[in-house]
Structure 1
Amino acid sequence: MFPLSVSDSEPTDGFDGLPDSLILLIFDQISDVKTLIRCRSVSKRFNSLVPQSDSLLLRVDRVISTTDSDSDDSLLITFLRSIFKSLHDFIYPYKPLPNVTRIQNSPTQILRGFDKIRELEIELPSSDLKLDKGAVIKWRAEFGKTLKSCVIMGFCEGPDRDGGLKMRVVWTISALIAASARHYMMLEVVREHKNLQKLTISDRESEGVVVMVKDGLEECRECGEEEVKVGESGVWWRNNRTVVPAVRMRLRHEGKLEVGDGVKMEGATLVVVKPVGKGGESEAEDLGLVRGAFGGRGEAEEYGEAVEKLLKRRGYLLEMNSF
């Protein structure tokens, strides 16, 4: 028998033979931030490579603020109720999202150890809107330093309680407020991660999504560290949300719509929102935005047929001041 050499008797780690670039590719496929943070404790090599991951998914379990009210009712609900009471009270004080710098384990703090993020998806624990039972709203908004566009689709799964135009405007304002609050919550993340080229902020219930791409991210960073900025469009950030500029909305509505395998949508409504002076004058401009929001795979694809039918309906133009 021959004695074993040291190299023969000691187990080897298969990862030692893999180049860093391949391990980083594996980390990018994992993408989940919490899993990657656990990977840092595996070895010194993993600890040094994990922060270089450039494609991340952060699922936020909960958002805690030391300034949260003890009240069970969200002031956003109070805001919505005020609209039903009076058309003059559209912009009623609502419960602001907490300041991210004061949240324990906020996205900003969790991501601070990652240096080279290029694509980031944030998934919030729940949707923002608490509407009547049976009401369904789906929306997609794109931002730079402020709103660039928003597409909203709403309908009732049961008998439509038909609030008419007022109800559709409530849906639209609710979605815009939710989008602007999400955008504001991510401003610090955008400023800290200079390599970021795409940011998506969605929710676990797939209600709405905020998207920022390269041009919008750069535009947002140019605003600097100021919490309030006054320009040609007025105040950009206020009350822990991004101010929605004056917008033009093209609304299409169908009282009853049947799609797919006999699925019935009551009060189906499609709204395309763009800032005044930023296009949107032509109905043809709606097409790309709408199909970009509801023409992809996954849950959005389910609404593709309804969207195509609504696009053939007559559109009604509405304008709304900044709020």
Structure 2
Amino acid sequence: MLPIDGDDGFDRVPDSLVLLIFNQISDIRTLIRCQAVSKRFNSLVPQADTLLLRVDRVVSAGELDDSDSLLVTFFRSILKPLYDLVSHKPLPDPTRYQKSPGQILRGFERIRELEIELPSGDLRLEKGAVIRWRAEFGKTLRSCVILGFRGSGGGAADLSGGGLKMRVVWTISALIAASARHYMLKEVVREHGEIGRLVVRDQEEEGTVVMERDGLMECREEEQTEEVGDGLWWRSNRTTVPAVRMRMRHVPRLQLAGGIQMEGATLVVVRPTTTGTAETEAEEQCGDAALAFGAFGGVYGAAVEKLLKSRSYLLEMNSF
């Protein structure tokens, strides 16, 4: 139906449909641009509840101001690109975003799903090595699955001597990277109580941190306790990794469909050491499989399937 003279047909589109479109867009920079389109868009954009925040650059430790927290600097690094996108219109004083990391998202009223994309992975590995990891958190680490290998021609490595030590280093490095990302999220979790799912990943798909609804609730409850305590968690730049059990599986050479070959393929499933009833070997193996298949799909899922059939090695590590 053609609009009546003087009547904008787009105004007939209900707000609920516009918000559905905004949630499909999700990218915060694009949504900020949309706010400049009209007064209506300006009022509706803050109601978007599914958001993607892309970070151009993570500032190195050498660039940190002593008065700034890690997360303040993290979010400050994305302030300038956002400001550049909307510099054609009047904006509130941008320095206010530097007061608190949560303020970069405070313009959104009811975030329910948030994904943060980092520019690159955290690990610095030897040439030819590839690591993929996925960690789930509540107030602390709940689980972490790590898959490591070398590409074809990288040379196989066994689990004796240096080979085992190298893979333990890979595991510890992934846990440290995951705990640093979790710590980085605490202010966002506190500022936005309606978030039901929070994911941090990087463009290179090296690592992913996931917090689901129950984990977010647990994290908020823990933080309320810490805030009225001595505040020790503010003195570190990452969340403490609890004592964990690591079950490691290794295949010197893994041949997959399509001619894909992985040298020294290693799967590590990390879970906190519990004080309750110990799992049987079969229960633990079943739990490992569920976590591993939940972490990886595609070609990595095929690698996981074969690795789960191989012999496993159990290691334990104290909290750090």
Which TM-score band applies after superposition, normalised by the shorter structure? 0.7 to 0.9
The answer as to 2:243 corresponding to 1:246 is yes
User: 1:239 is matched by which residue type in structure 2?
Assistant: S
Distance 1:313 1:40 in 2: 54
Larger mean Cα displacement after TM superposition, 127-136 or 58-67: 58-67
- SS of residue matched to 1:245: coil
Judge conservation of contact 1:248–1:280 (CA < 8 Å) in 2.
no
Query: Which residue does 2:264 correspond to in 1?
Result: 267
- SS of residue matched to 1:242: coil
Pick the aligned partner of 1:292 from 282, 291, 294: 294
Query: Which residue does 2:188 correspond to in 1?
Result: 189
CA separation of 1:274 and 1:238: change in aligned 2, threshold 3 A: farther
Pick the aligned partner of 2:21 from 11, 21, 26: 26
Pairwise CA distance, 1:306:
1.1
Distance 1:230 1:134 in 2: 46
Distance 1:182 1:197 in 2: 18
Judge conservation of contact 2:149–2:264 (CA < 8 Å) in 1.
yes
Pairwise CA distance, 1:119:
0.6
User: 1:135 is matched by which residue type in structure 2?
Assistant: A
Judge conservation of contact 1:145–1:216 (CA < 8 Å) in 2.
yes
Query: Which residue does 1:83 correspond to in 2?
Result: none
Pick the aligned partner of 1:101 from 72, 92, 101: 72
Judge conservation of contact 2:156–2:253 (CA < 8 Å) in 1.
no
1:215-256 CA-partner distances (Å, limit 9, x unpaired): 00000011235768989xxx7675210110000000000111
Query: Which residue does 1:144 correspond to in 2?
Result: 138
Query: Which residue does 1:213 correspond to in 2?
Result: 212
How many residue pairs match? The answer is: 281
User: 2:20 is matched by which residue type in structure 1?
Assistant: L
User: 2:181 is matched by which residue type in structure 1?
Assistant: R
Judge conservation of contact 1:227–1:237 (CA < 8 Å) in 2.
no
Distance 2:72 2:242 in 1: 25
Which runs of no fewer than 5 residues in structure 2 stay unpaired?
80-96
Q: Once superposed, what is the RMSD of the aligned Cα atoms?
A: 2.5
Larger mean Cα displacement after TM superposition, 222-231 or 42-51: 222-231
- SS of residue matched to 1:180: helix
CA separation of 1:60 and 1:225: change in aligned 2, threshold 3 A: farther
Query: Which residue does 2:172 correspond to in 1?
Result: 173
Query: Which residue does 2:90 correspond to in 1?
Result: none
1:89-126 CA-partner distances (Å, limit 9, x unpaired): xxxxxxxx952134523863321111111111100011
Q: Which has the higher helix share?
A: 2
User: 1:39 is matched by which residue type in structure 2?
Assistant: C
CA separation of 1:65 and 1:226: change in aligned 2, threshold 3 A: farther
